[in-house]
Homo-oligomer: A and B are copies of this chain.
Amino acid sequence: MSPSDFRNYLEENFQISFNHLPLLQEALTQRNYLNEHPKEKGRDYQRLEFLGDAIMQATVTEYLFKRYPEWDEGQLTEMRITMVQTKSFAHFASVIHLNEAIRLGKGEEMNGARERPSLLEDIWEAFIGALYLDQGQAAVVSLLQQTVFAAIDENFFDQFIDFKSRLQEKLQAQGSVDIDYTIENEIRNEDNSQLFEVSVAVDGKVLAHGSGQSIKDAEKAAAQKAYQDLTAK
């Protein structure tokens, strides 16, 4: 997909009309592509990434600050760390098909850089920087409403949270306790897939159960349930 095709795609799917195509192009251009195309004018994405990184951080911060008026700065910071990270930005870069529009050097293309999370994160930030310069803060917020912020309501970010560590921190805030995970049940399906049920107990008292296709997933589900029960109180 060329930068110009990507511009049309943005218009049709996200109601974003990018004015200044060279700016969009810069956000989508990796350094080695320029080395291989010496007649091309313009820069690679790195200056725009410098800008977009700060714009993302500020926009997510303001959104969380206003959405959760009762949260303290610790809860807000925890949520922001979960949202503003490589895995998250790489995911949303693919959601809006940024990966297909990157202008990559041949060597990077061969090495699979087009799907590499660290590059997708950089390009996401560069694109946000370009969008901010081209259309202003409101367009950035509008795009994030349709992607990153909408994902909060779908509990998308739960997958990035280490609930076992969170539960442990919570339970041990007042001193040392014993936390045990026990496999309560194990089902093997006809297709050989498995389902585990795990309980989590603190000092012998069961707090919650969770299930999953691996022991690790079931433990995480139990920890998440216990953690959310404790913090909801």
Contact = CB atoms under 8 A, between A and B. Distances in A.
Contact of A73 (B49, B61, B62, B77): B49
A47 interface: yes
Given A51-B61, A51-B65, 6 more contacts: A46-B73, A50-B65, A50-B73, A54-B58, A57-B57, A57-B58
Contacts of A46: 72-73
Main secondary structure on A side of the interface with B: helix
A51 B60 CA distance: 10
A216 B2 CA distance: 55
Interface of A: 46-47, 49-51, 53-55, 57-58, 61-62, 65, 71-73, 76-77, 137
**A46, A47, A49: residue with the most chain B Cβ atoms closer than 10 Å:** A47
Copies of this chain, tallied across the complex: 2
Contacts of A77: 50
A76 B53 CA distance: 13
B72 A47 contact: yes
B54 A61 contact: yes
Considering the complex of A and B, which 4 residue pairs feature the smallest CB-CB distances, nearest first? A58-B58, A54-B61, A50-B73, A54-B58
A51 B62 contact: yes
Given A72-B46, A137-B137, A54 B57 contact: yes
Contacts of A57: 54, 57-58
Nearest to A52: B61
23 contacts: A46-B72, A46-B73, A47-B65, A47-B71, A47-B72, A47-B73, A47-B76, A49-B73, A50-B61, A50-B65, A50-B77, A51-B61, A51-B62, A51-B65, A53-B61, A54-B57, A54-B58, A54-B62, A55-B61, A55-B62, A57-B58, A58-B58, A137-B137
